[in-house]
Each structure stands twice: as C-alpha cells, then as structure tokens.
Amino acid sequence: MPERLRFREFEPVRLDRSERNELLAAMPVLNEQLAPRLRQHRVDGESVTVSNLVGSFTLPGGGVAEVAPKIRADDWTTAVIHLLSSGTRLAVTGSHRSRSSQRRDDLSAALALEYARRLESALRREGPLQVYERKHEVTRRWSGRLDVTRWMRTVTLDPARFPMGRDELSVLNDFTRGLSIIAGLLSRSAAGGELASRLRRLQADVIPGHPIPSIVSPSVARRRLPAQWAAYGPAWDIAAPLLSNRSVAGGPGHATGLEVAVEPWPLLETLLERALRVLVNRNADLILEAKKTYPLLLEAGTATVAQSVEPDGLLRRADGSVAATFEAKYSRARKPKREHVFQALTTAAALSSPLSVLVYPGAHPATTFEVIGFHGRPVRLVVLGLDMYRYRRGQGDVDRAVMLETAIASGSSVA
C-alpha cells in the first residue's frame, strides 16, 4: 500500500481492495469528530469518491489520505485557515510520517506556520495571557476568603489553620495551557526545523516560569477568551477547534505528527456571515438578523409548524422589512442547481423578501434572474461565487461585502 493516498473532492479514485478497506476503516473516526451533515464518501465498485472533506487523515495501517478541494486554487490551505473560528469542527489524527511536508497544500503544515505567526504576534503585543484563577490553600496567614465550613471541621484541633480561597492573576491557566499544548503538537507537523523550533519556544513563552503542560480539560475549547485578551483571538481560533478533540487535549501518545481535516461547507457559511457583517457596518439602513428558523407551513386550523426554513443570511432594513435572504451552497456548479433554486426562492417567499441571493464557493461573477410566479416576493434571484479558496481575512471580507452590496442594489431597483 502506498504511504499516501491522494484525492480531490467529488472525483472518483480507483483503489485496490486493501486501500479501499483502509479508507473505509478510517471513516468512522472522521464521522465521530466532524459529525458531518453531508455524506463524506461513496463506493462505486473499485472506485471511492471522497466529498465534503478537505485536509488529511491517518489510515489504520499508518498511511495518510490527502483530500484537496474540488475547486482548484493555489495555496487553498491559507484560505481554510483564515476561515477557521473557535467553533469550527476539525478531525485530528496522529501521524507517524517520518518528515514534515514542504508542500503548500498540506493543511497540517500550513496550520503550524499560521499558528506560530498568530501566537508570536499576540505575545509581542500583550505579553503572556493572564486571567484570574481561584486558588485554594490552607495557611496560618489570613490571605483571602475563609472557607468557614472546612475551618469548622478542624477548628477544635488547630484553630490557627485557615482554609483560604482567593482570586489571583496567573499566566498558568486553562487558556495558556491549551495554547502551549497546541504549539507543541503543531511543532511535530511543522515544515522545517526552524518552524518546529519556533513552536517549541512558544510552548514555554506562553507560560513563562512554569513547566510545559501535557494535558488540559477539553472544555476550555468552549470557553470565550476574556475580552481584554482579544489579541489572542486569532491564535485561539486555531487552538480551540484542535483542543475540542479529546485525544489532543489529553496528549498525542507516540504520534510524531498531526493530520487535520475539516468539513468545508460550514466555512462557506462563515465566509458569507463575515461579508454580511462588513456590509451592515457600511450601511446604517441594514441589519443582520441572528440565524434562526421561520415557519413555512402550518397545520390547517392550528399554530403548529409543519415545515420551517432557516436562511444562511437575512438582512432587514431599519423599518423592519426584509431586504434580502441568502443561501450558501457548497457546489462547483456555475449555473444554479434546481434544488438550490427551489430552496432559495421558497425561503425568500416565506419571509416576503424581494431578493434571494444564492452563493457558491467558486469565482464566477453575479448572474441575475427574474422570478416568475411568486407575485413579487421574491422578484429576483442573484447567483454569485464568493471565491472561497482565495479568501484572506480582512480585505477579503470587504471585497465580498461589495459584491453582495451590488447584488442587493440590483434587487432593490425593482422591489
């Protein structure tokens, strides 16, 4: 069996029986970690098609499977990393590969480099991250709040021993433990000795004066960074989804590297949301609604919801009217698919939106369609590609906000 199996999303690859069995045996681990809503593989005779998955993962026999996005783009790994957030689900598996990859399409190596950059930047700007931690000790000096219940249990034996609790600013906390652990793990996937050394140095720099930790509670991945430590937010966007995997938070065993895979379609929703947030900041008349469901069908004569819709984005105007609804579909199609059109138009109609916007991950320009038969709600459908795999946070959000602003303007002209 070859050391590495290479795939591109939605493109079938012919495998021999042993390779096929290895791949299928690895899928339950990915499903457990990613909890995908869309199917991630299909077997057709001797061919296997991998879908809704990019990155790499370890096979039971020690090999590695690599999956590139269906949309071809140089340096797509950087786009994926810039779309990560603390809530992104990642599949993380240990790897025994003998050397780090120098390729630009290696997600694990790209994560290591970007994490080093972000963590170094935060340390330069703010110094080590300190948060208040509750400390408990038994002392003969009054140094905090007395635990009266514990003290009463021993007061007759030694009344001068005080069980005390107090809050202290400390660099040794769950956040810094997590940041340190991830620096160490990614150092094993770093491309080149220099980057590996930087990450090992960061392991210690983030918790100065304390031993390097080997374990942290996975629950820290669900906690918000204190607002005063916003500079650490970009590094935490990488660390948190990695720490949510119990195998990472509890130690990597004897793995010498790290393989990382991600479900890409939620990243398209993240891209859309970021662009919409920039858009509303540029337009005081627009408000971005929180994501939720809206009724589509009610059982006759009752208020019971039989079917509902949940737009991926919803903009209202200051007067409360709907300006546009948005649907994000992770598809390579340049022309809108029938089922995507039906969903987009149905959602817009349920919310009395004059405009429905359907976004894809490709780079194709906006196409506008006149809608017939919905009595003006919606009156137009705009389909465009957000060029997901060339995205860079910051200016990339502004560029895509301008694209969406133009789409809304085209719908408003006839609303």
For residue 282, what are the contacts with CB-CB under 8 A and spacing of at least 6? Answer: 401, 405
Greatest Cα pair distance in the chain: 87
Phi, psi (deg, nearest 5) at residue 18: -65, -40
Q: What is the pTM of this model?
A: 0.82
**Residue 339: predicted pLDDT:** 95
Q: Which residues pair with 261 in a beta bridge?
A: 55, 91
**Residue 279: predicted pLDDT:** 97
Return d(Cα 40, Cα 103) in angstroms, integer: 24
**Residue 254: predicted pLDDT:** 46
CA 170 to chain centre: 28
Chain segment 216-270, per-residue pLDDT in tens: 888 888 888 888 888 999 999 998 888 887 656 555 444 556 789 999 999 999 9
Chain segment 297-340, per-residue pLDDT in tens: 999 988 899 999 999 999 999 999 999 999 999 988 778 999 99
- Sign of the dihedral defined by the CA atoms of residues 398, 79, 109, 33, in that order: positive
Residue count of the chain: 415
Q: Which two tokens stand for residue 275?
A: 């662009």
Low pLDDT (below 50) residues in the chain:
1, 98-99, 252-254, 414-415
